[in-house]
Structure 1
Amino acid sequence: MDRPLILLRDGVVERLTTHDAHHIPPGTLDLGDATLAPGFLDIHVHGAGGRDVMEGSQDAVNTVAGMLARFGTTRFLATTVTAPVERTLRALEALADSIEREPASRAARPIGIHLEGPFLSHAKRGVHPAADIQLPSVPLFGRFQEAARGHIRLMTIAPETEGAFELIAYAAAGGVRISMGHSNATAAETRGGIAAAHQAARGQAVSATHTFNAMRPLDHREPGILGVTLDDADLFAELICDGIHTTPEAVRLWFRSKGEDRAVLVTDGMAATGMPDGEYKLGDLPVTVRHGVCISGGVLAGSVLTMQHAVANLQRFTGASLEAAVRLATRNPAVLLGLADAEEPLAPGAEANFTIFAPNGSFRGTLVRGEHLSFG
């Protein structure tokens, strides 16, 4: 379309036309030579702006959502961290309240919950507290989903743990997407988890959580969960593209393996995102942030990566185009979640959520429900 023009009304897309075909009224926001792309969707983020989604308050979620919007994320899954069961239930109830309310002005919209824990492997738990890790349990997951009022949309689980296949099948049948991670699974155990999800909900997408991190290492005789993740053409795979969790070589290997349709950029951002170095919390865990590296008990504890930097890093590490990099932060996570607008984010009636890029590909800002946020 030559000189495209997007007409907005009340924060949603009304229709697409062109500058030549439509009168432009005075005072219209003119983005000049900018490139517009859909707003980012982060399916794995714990916090930002000094706050954490496990705090269980609307104010915390609003702060997180406002900070994410500054960096291009317009929708996100509020991501939990392993905690005592009652603490998790309270957090899920509060997150459901936030999801069901209108989002704060100039803020990203929380569209669901990513349950990261407690159904993880002790061997690959990372920073998740060992005392609160649970064996997979359909009744316990049912309590979680009830507290969340059905808003759990993605669940990280270690497929090798006792009861995992049963819980995977149960959750997948209920529409929850399965992501395998924090896992020491063999290749056979990984394929078993994938099969359990597909048998319960044929054709439903399955993913891997922060590929390379908290996984059995690749071995040429036992490829494990990482080998299956890189080899299975249908499997989606998250990646924290910050140069800390994954080196450029690992990013290139992942991108060549998963391609433009199954690779998913995430931040795994925690409360320190958008904030100076210092002392923060991931759930109840104390985290020290120095030079952008988040450490708790000697272990990496999330990141301070923002999605616009993940997109820029992918281009820098791999040579991917801006269009391809944006796809990994927009279309792919939407397809994984089965969102109706995954293929047509600019369809009439859709929220007017866009990222804005300069001709050289640098990030300029965000449009959130039609409201312009400048970067910085």
Structure 2
Amino acid sequence: MSTTLADARVVTPDGVHEGWLTIEDGRFTHIGRGRAPGAGVGLGGRYVVPGFVDIHTHGGAGASFPSGDQEQARRAAEFHARHGTTTIMASLVTASIGDLTRVTSALAELCEDGLLAGVHLEGPYIAPARRGAHDPGQLREPSPGELSGLLKAGRGHVRMVTIAPELPGALDTVRAAVGEGVIAALGHSDATYDQARAGIDAGCTVATHLYNALPPLHHRTPGPIAALLEDPRVTVELINDGLHAHPAMLRLAVAAAGADRTVLVTDAMAAAGMGDGTYRLGSMDVEVTGGAARLTEGGAIAGSTLTMDEAFRRAVQEVGLSLLEAAEMTSHTPARVLGISSHTGSIAVGNHADLVVLNEDLTLHQVMRRGVWLPTP
């Protein structure tokens, strides 16, 4: 079956143009400029951007990936899909090795089903001083052997692990992860500039939510943020919810690293799409007030209630980025990080028909995943 979407402003890797596109068997087959040949579904001049790829998400719609409950995982993934995230990786939080093994194995089944693009272990190998909303009683020193067991439970679907490079055993664990084809991310770290450089040299290629849970930039002690921004081998995550980082700091990151090395993520937890109240993130209680999620005890920021459509809109309207930059940071760059940019992350002939239709004010209109329209939120 063939579907043509006409009268659209299509955001492709080479720019934004008025035109049309055709979808057959769940893939883009034709992308044209101007008037579409023959009849088509008119979009009234709306924007069409590639489906969003979120590489850091803990849950949504009251459901949590760290719970290990497959029904909850499905509910969270479908919630984010309706907000434009057509590709999602499930992020876990620090827990016991037994719990992480169980949850990783359960989520690996959903990766095999195609619902999830992988599993991200955001702990337990992180610095106590920069733990954020992670359970301090479950933090551990990195261990290649222990990580190997978690990777085995994931059956090839653990795609990323966050490690603080200054911890004992960290650099060997980074090398072990990379040797198994897993992305090593530097984050939740109290590293010096030199320690961060050592982590990057060992194989860290992603910065877990840059600025957050890291020492701040300082002109005499630059710390890990400077090391991460300046190194062309590293892609940096940013949470663009107006709480985790000021728009000026997002502009700084993009100016330093470029849209091709910058990824917008939600870091969303179960409260995304829900009202204010008390929720759980792993073993920790979280209070959400005015959409801001903080630990009930201590008040540390505990993920977000962000969705990717909002992150995209903020990138253009508040940060001042172009549509092309925003699309790169929410789709193509994260797809490249995951190694799947050959079939998703951009509107290009042959790619999966994953797309988001946005109104003039960049609010969500419709979402298509693999050529199928999804229910609107």
Taking structure 2 as the reference length, what is the TM-score of the superposition?
0.90
Task: Answer yes or no: is 1:149 the counterpart of 2:155.
Answer: yes
Label 1:130 to 1:344 Cα distance change in 2 as closer, same or farther (>3 A): closer
Instruction: State how many pairs are aligned.
Output: 360
What secondary structure is seen at the aligned counterpart in 2 of 1:185?
A: coil
Contact 2:335/2:345, CA 8 A, preserved across alignment: no
The aligned amino acid for 1:135 is E
Paired position in structure 2 for 1:127: 133
Paired position in structure 2 for 1:59: 71
Paired position in structure 1 for 2:318: 317
Paired position in structure 2 for 1:351: 352
Label 1:215 to 1:274 Cα distance change in 2 as closer, same or farther (>3 A): same
What secondary structure is seen at the aligned counterpart in 2 of 1:268?
A: coil
Q: Deviations over 1:274-308 (max 9, x none)?
A: 11111111122211111011011211110001111
Q: Which residues of 2 match residues 94-105 of structure 1 at below 5 A?
A: 94-102=106-114
**Structure 1 residues not aligned, in runs of 5+:** 103-108, 198-204
Q: Deviations over 1:142-174 (max 9, x none)?
A: 111110101111111101001111111111122
Contact 1:83/1:129, CA 8 A, preserved across alignment: yes
Task: Answer yes or no: is 1:33 the counterpart of 2:41.
Answer: no
What secondary structure is seen at the aligned counterpart in 2 of 1:54?
A: coil
What secondary structure is seen at the aligned counterpart in 1 of 2:75?
A: helix
The aligned amino acid for 2:215 is R
The aligned amino acid for 1:291 is G
What secondary structure is seen at the aligned counterpart in 2 of 1:111?
A: coil
- Mapped partners of 1:224, 1:249: distance in 2: 19
The aligned amino acid for 1:269 is A
What secondary structure is seen at the aligned counterpart in 2 of 1:95?
A: helix
The correspondence for 2:172, drawn from 163, 166, 183, is 166
Paired position in structure 1 for 2:193: 187
Paired position in structure 2 for 1:79: 91
Paired position in structure 1 for 2:228: 229
What secondary structure is seen at the aligned counterpart in 2 of 1:265?
A: strand
Contact 2:85/2:308, CA 8 A, preserved across alignment: yes
Label 1:374 to 1:78 Cα distance change in 2 as closer, same or farther (>3 A): same
Contact 2:286/2:293, CA 8 A, preserved across alignment: yes
Q: Deviations over 1:221-267 (max 9, x none)?
A: 22111121233244211011111111222222222222221111001
Paired position in structure 2 for 1:6: 21
Paired position in structure 1 for 2:281: 282
The aligned amino acid for 2:85 is T
- Mapped partners of 2:19, 2:143: distance in 1: 51
Label 1:317 to 1:32 Cα distance change in 2 as closer, same or farther (>3 A): closer
Task: Answer yes or no: is 1:262 the counterpart of 2:277.
Answer: no
Paired position in structure 1 for 2:6: none
Q: Deviations over 1:6-46 (max 9, x none)?
A: 3323433344457857433xxx5432312211100000000
The aligned amino acid for 2:168 is E
- Mapped partners of 1:21, 1:33: distance in 2: 13
- Mapped partners of 1:256, 1:18: distance in 2: 31
Supply the RMSD in Å over aligned alpha carbons.
2.1
Contact 2:354/2:368, CA 8 A, preserved across alignment: yes
Contact 2:61/2:79, CA 8 A, preserved across alignment: yes
Contact 1:208/1:237, CA 8 A, preserved across alignment: yes
Contact 1:364/1:374, CA 8 A, preserved across alignment: no
* Identical-pair percentage: 37
- Mapped partners of 2:23, 2:251: distance in 1: 38
What secondary structure is seen at the aligned counterpart in 2 of 1:123?
A: helix
- Mapped partners of 2:215, 2:143: distance in 1: 23
Paired position in structure 2 for 1:294: 293
Task: Answer yes or no: is 1:89 the counterpart of 2:104.
Answer: no
Contact 2:343/2:351, CA 8 A, preserved across alignment: no
Taking structure 1 as the reference length, what is the TM-score of the superposition?
0.90
The aligned amino acid for 2:169 is G
- Mapped partners of 2:326, 2:32: distance in 1: 26
**Structure 2 residues not aligned, in runs of 5+:** 1-9, 11-16
Label 1:348 to 1:227 Cα distance change in 2 as closer, same or farther (>3 A): closer
Contact 1:331/1:342, CA 8 A, preserved across alignment: no
- Mapped partners of 1:305, 1:135: distance in 2: 31
Contact 2:331/2:345, CA 8 A, preserved across alignment: no
Label 1:340 to 1:230 Cα distance change in 2 as closer, same or farther (>3 A): closer
- Mapped partners of 2:361, 2:275: distance in 1: 28
- Mapped partners of 1:131, 1:342: distance in 2: 41
Task: Answer yes or no: is 1:43 the counterpart of 2:41.
Answer: no
